[in-house]
């Protein structure tokens, strides 16, 4: 496939770099008392918005490949769209379609699972229990349960991971009750020979769902609970949740410790030889490590797995096509190819990407179309700043300063025509539901922007500042009909820990000193996928065929403004 990039007929690249800044989780909110972005002191961002072209971009729903416009965006699909320059059908939409057509249950992997089940092996379903539709959806879990029952699997165990992040922070019992009701109904319908029940679980931020190898003890904790039945014992998941909440009234679902369901004989659903395991999350970043724990051979050294059972492990999707993780999967992932990064690398254009651990894979793996590694080692430089392993609200500045140090140095070096950076603060701190800490997180990003744009200006470059989705822009739950902030029994606002449906800013800061006066189209349908073509034009290239249109719009008559 040719990757030639033609020079733009009228647009000249700047003397300095084009720097793409992703303010993760910083959307355009209501500017009310729940909007941490508006409440933050942001003199840099305010000054840039007052003096440079900007426009809103859609960052949720169909604009990023999700099933409907009621689906909030997320960092995975947002960075896919930013890097690919087009919209691809994403995990939730692909799984929905595969369930509707029956394709999910027609492949060889599902048939192998059925064969093991009919021979007496149990089917274990591990994944995030919610309808947040960011990593998983409870409807997909229910479809797997129904299909297993219909096709003769006698023993099935669910290992639910509690959300409280993409859904209300203390909503776990809603989903557990629904799951228990279904399991009881399906189990009773099969008679004495059928056992369908919950076996283990825990909160997503402390059990199983680590990402980017930030903390393998999270995976170890989950693996031991799911596989070996090691963990605090309870008679039911409901008892576990209620007990943990009684012991710590401030505990929210995502941070709940692991639990194991036991009866008079011990753990009810450990994973044994001959069993099958399906990880039903469709999103890849928090699926890779647990997949490796099940699939890697004897050279696995992240933790002691103990006696490894002989199981068939499958993901509902393949989470990394290059590394083939996992080897077995039920639904083909989106085939994202011809990304902006690949085009530039194939043309020898040097690129620099930087983020701290929590978002490092977003500016590399997701940006490059769910592809691990580099397209060209000589053309690409990736810098990961290790994240702290403490609750984000306790240190809302995170590693933004160190990330900025690395990016400013890259700007000054003159080596990279394209630089991309992600500031994780607005998203990671926003997920804690702590409004005051999130205000500090946004202010941190603003302080770092001041340093970064100064370096871009000195280098006579261009900064394109945007976000991948909203989060910090709405810190309280609101009534969907009235818009009023929801309160608890004591009159306190209910914290919102999930992403929002709000648009995100896109801000063009041109310090190139070229004889041009660029502006951005005000198009209500424009989304994150329009950014790639915009960047390529700023670099002096004609966007490839099929890329969504550039946001750049002609020239303006007024004198080019000077920003802080």
The predicted structure's pLDDT at residue 554: 65
Last residue in a domain, options 331, 352, 381: 331
* Residue 6 belongs to some domain of the structure: no
The predicted structure's pLDDT at residue 563: 39
Query: Are 344 and 318 found together in one domain?
Result: no
Query: Are 224 and 311 found together in one domain?
Result: yes
The predicted structure's pLDDT at residue 334: 81
* Residue 556 belongs to some domain of the structure: no
* Residue 252 belongs to some domain of the structure: yes
Which domain does 27 fall in, by range?
18-89+336-538
Query: Are 169 and 230 found together in one domain?
Result: yes
The count of structural domains within the chain is 2
Query: Are 120 and 48 found together in one domain?
Result: no
Spans of the chain, pLDDT less than 50: 555-564
Query: Are 171 and 258 found together in one domain?
Result: yes
Report residue 88 as tokens: 């691809």
The answer, yes or no, to whether the previous bond of 28 is cis (omega within 30 of 0) is no
Query: Are 150 and 181 found together in one domain?
Result: yes
pTM for the full predicted model: 0.83
Report residue 326 as tokens: 């996992």
Q: How far is residue 99's CA from residue 387's CA, in Å, rounded to a whole number? A: 38
Query: Are 362 and 320 found together in one domain?
Result: no
Last residue in a domain, options 331, 364, 379: 331
Q: How far is residue 207's CA from residue 263's CA, in Å, rounded to a whole number? A: 22
Give the dihedral sign, CA 239/243/244/250: positive
- CATH at residue 81: 3.40.720.10
Q: How far is residue 360's CA from residue 97's CA, in Å, rounded to a whole number? A: 30
* Residue 469 belongs to some domain of the structure: yes
Query: Are 83 and 119 found together in one domain?
Result: no
Strands 312-317 and 195-198: unpaired
CA atoms within 13 A on the CB side of 177: 5
Last residue in a domain, options 302, 331, 360: 331
* Residue 260 belongs to some domain of the structure: yes
Query: Are 66 and 96 found together in one domain?
Result: no
Residue for token digits 């050279």? 299
* Residues with a known catalytic role: 75
- CATH at residue 294: 3.40.1450.10
Query: Are 142 and 79 found together in one domain?
Result: no
The predicted structure's pLDDT at residue 322: 66
Query: Are 326 and 427 found together in one domain?
Result: no
* Residue 5 belongs to some domain of the structure: no
The predicted structure's pLDDT at residue 561: 39
Query: Are 22 and 160 found together in one domain?
Result: no
Residue 552 and residue 543 in contact, taking contact as beta carbons nearer than 8 Å: no
* Residue 544 belongs to some domain of the structure: no
Q: What are phi and psi of 234, to 5 degrees?
A: -140, 160
Report residue 527 as tokens: 């989304």
């Amino acid at each position: 496939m040719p990757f030639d990039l033609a020079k733009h007929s009228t647009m000249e690249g700047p003397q300095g770099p084009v720097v793409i800044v992703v303010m993760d989780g910083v959307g355009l909110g209501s500017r009310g008392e729940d909007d941490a972005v508006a409440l933050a002191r942001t003199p840099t961002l305010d000054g840039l918005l007052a003096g440079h072209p900007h426009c809103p971009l859609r960052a949720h729903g169909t604009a990023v490949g999700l099933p409907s416009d009621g689906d909030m965006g997320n960092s995975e699909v947002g960075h896919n769209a930013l890097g690919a320059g087009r919209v691809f059908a994403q995990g939730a939409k692909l799984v929905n379609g595969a369930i509707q057509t029956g394709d999910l249950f027609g492949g060889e992997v599902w048939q192998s699972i059925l064969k093991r089940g009919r021979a007496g092996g149990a089917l274990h379903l591990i994944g995030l229990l919610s309808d947040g539709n960011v990593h998983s959806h409870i409807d997909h879990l229910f479809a797997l349960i129904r299909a297993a029952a219909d096709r003769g699997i006698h023993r099935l165990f669910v290992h639910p991971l509690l959300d409280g992040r993409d859904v209300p922070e203390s909503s776990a019992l809603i989903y557990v009750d629904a799951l228990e009701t279904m399991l009881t109904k399906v189990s009773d319908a099969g008679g004495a020979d059928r056992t369908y029940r919950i076996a283990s679980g825990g909160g997503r931020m402390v059990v199983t769902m680590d990402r980017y190898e930030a903390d393998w003890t999270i995976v170890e904790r989950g693996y031991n609970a799911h596989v070996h039945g090691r963990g605090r014992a309870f008679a039911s998941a409901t008892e576990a949740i209620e007990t943990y909440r009684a012991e710590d009234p401030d505990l929210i679902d995502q941070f709940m410790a692991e639990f194991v369901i036991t009866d008079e004989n011990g753990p009810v659903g450990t994973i044994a030889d001959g069993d099958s395991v399906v990880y039903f999350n469709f999103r890849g970043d928090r699926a890779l490590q647990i997949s490796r724990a099940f699939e890697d051979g004897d050279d696995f050294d992240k933790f002691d797995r103990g006696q490894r059972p002989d199981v068939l492990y499958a993901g509902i999707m393949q989470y990394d096509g290059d590394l083939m993780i996992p080897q077995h999967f039920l639904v083909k992932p989106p085939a994202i190819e011809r990304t902006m990064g690949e085009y530039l690398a194939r043309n020898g254009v040097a690129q620099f990407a930087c983020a701290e651990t929590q978002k490092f894979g977003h500016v590399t793996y997701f940006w490059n179309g769910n592809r691990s590694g580099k397209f060209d080692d000589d053309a690409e430089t990736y810098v990961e700043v290790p994240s702290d392993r403490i609750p984000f609200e306790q240190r809302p500045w995170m590693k933004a300063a160190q990330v900025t140090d690395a990016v400013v140095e890259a700007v000054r070096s003159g080596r990279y025509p394209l630089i991309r950076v992600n500031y994780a603060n607005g998203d990671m701190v926003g997920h804690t539901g702590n409004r005051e800490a999130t205000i500090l997180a946004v202010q941190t990003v603003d302080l770092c922007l001041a340093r970064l744009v100064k370096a871009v200006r000195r280098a006579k470059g261009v900064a394109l500042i945007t976000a991948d989705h909203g989060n910090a822009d709405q810190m309280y739950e609101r009534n969907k009909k009235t818009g009023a902030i929801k309160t608890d029994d004591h009159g306190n606002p209910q914290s919102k820990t999930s992403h929002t449906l709000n648009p995100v800013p896109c801000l063009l800061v041109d310090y190139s000193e070229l004889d041009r006066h660029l502006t951005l189209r005000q198009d209500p349908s424009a989304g994150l996928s329009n950014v790639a073509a915009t960047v390529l034009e700023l670099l002096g290239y004609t966007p490839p065929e099929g890329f969504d249109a550039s946001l750049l719009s002609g020239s303006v008559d007024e004198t080019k403004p000077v920003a802080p």
